[in-house]
Amino acid sequence: MKRRFRRFALFLALGLLFLPGCDLFKYERPFPDEYYSTNFIAGIGFDQFVGADDAVPALAETGSWDCAYRYASGWTTNHYDFLGLTSLGQTAGDYPSVPAGLDPTAPVYRLELDNLAIDGDFEVGNGGAWTTSGGTATWTRIQDPPSSGAYLMRLSAGSGEYIEWTPSLEAAAAGLASYRFAMNVSVTSPDEGKIFLNTEEQGTVSVDSIFVVPTSSISPFGFRFRPSTDESSFTNLRIDNARLTMSAGAVVRLRLTRTQTALTLESGIYEFSVWVREDPSVVAGEDPYPLDTITLTAKSLTNGITGSVPPYNLLSGSGWRKVS
């Protein structure tokens, strides 16, 4: 079963609705007045998205929204869409509290980053293969809270024992061993234990921790959970919401030449912005998962000048917010 993970990588957000904008900063006014009030990319909406096309041009697409990974070695072999940009058939005004500056008739799009860990929230099944070292070590899929319909995995292991989990992965993950991935394992537990990626110890997991594993290889890709010391044990270590996502190249971008904007691009200072909001269809603790941050980057490809904002905390507010 294919699960979807909505998040942003670079300027994209999982479980997020967003709209493009671009305005020229007002300073010294060396150009005609229209340069200081025009949205330069108003005509390049997210309906101009070529990231799902199988045919990749020899040169990176310009004048349309695109996915950076399409130009990476190996993508043309599997043509797997790690990102999805989908029109919801709605407008900003279909959501409450449209702020000043946001056109209520602007179309809304959902950007999704695929979760390569199948059933990583354990709502359907075990999310892969589980084994134990024997003895008293056990793993159990349980509802928590009881009768809630929400599931997680509860682990127990005595001194010197362990439980191993090999997640089920989308087929596309097998061909991306050279890419960098991050696996988050959410731990909701009164106990603590050590976690290993394959045979390498990664750290200690405990109550409400989010465990992130960066790696350049996913074959083999398995986790081992064991007590935090040789003398200790755990009877109620709980894990949930596993996410394996492509991070290198998982970027939605818009490349422009000087004449592909509403007014010809001239040397100067520009402001890029997007309107974003949480996706109300995302349920906390379930797949698809909401994203916590978004990063915007803009740069000149001719002289290397780069402008960016630090990662913006999407959990710090609600409703439509403008990120510039």
- 129-159 pLDDT, tens digit per residue, is 999 999 999 999 999 888 888 898 999 999 9
- Taking only the tens place, the pLDDT of each residue in 94-116 is 998 899 999 999 999 998 888 88
Residue 11: DSSP 8-state: S
Whether the predicted pLDDT of 6 surpasses 50: no
Instruction: Please give the pLDDT value at position 116.
Output: 85
C-alpha span between 123 and 289 (Å, rounded): 13
Give the residue with greater pLDDT, 245 vs 304.
245
Taking the C-alpha atoms of residue 11 and residue 293, their distance in angstroms, rounded to an integer, is: 9
Split at pLDDT 50, 70, 90, the class of 21 is low
**Average predicted confidence (pLDDT) for the chain:** 80
Bridge partner list, 270: 24
| Beta strand 252-254 pairing with 65-67 | antiparallel
In angstroms, the CA 319 to CA 179 distance is: 34
- Among the residue ranges 58-72, 235-249, 305-319, the one predicted with the least confidence is 305-319
How far apart (Å, rounded) are the C-alpha atoms in residues 276 and 319?
Answer: 8
Tokens 């990176």 -> residue? 60
Residue 225 has a pLDDT of: 92
Ranking 29-43, 174-188, 213-227 by mean pLDDT, the lowest is 174-188
CB 109 within 8 A of CB 276: no
Give the tokens for residue 7. Answer: 């998040």
Amino acid at 74: G
Alpha helices, DSSP H only, in the chain? Answer: 75-78
Phi and psi at residue 285, in whole multiples of 5°? 85, 5
Residue 280: what pLDDT?
84
Please tell me the predicted confidence (pLDDT) of residue 193: 84
Kindly report the pTM of this predicted structure. 0.76
Least confident of 122-126, 213-217, 251-255: 213-217
Q: Is the peptide bond before 214 cis (omega within 30 degrees of 0)?
A: no
Pairing of strands 128-132, 138-143: unpaired
Check: CB of residue 242 under 8 Å from CB of residue 120.
yes
| Tens digits of residue pLDDT in 257-313 | 999 999 999 888 888 889 998 888 887 667 777 777 777 888 887 777 777 777 777
Cβ distance 108 to 17 under 8 Å? yes
Which one-letter amino acid corresponds to residue 191?
D
Q: What pLDDT score does 111 carry?
A: 84
User: Would strands 270-278 and 107-114 be described as parallel, antiparallel, or unpaired?
Assistant: unpaired
Higher per-residue pLDDT: 173 or 251: 251
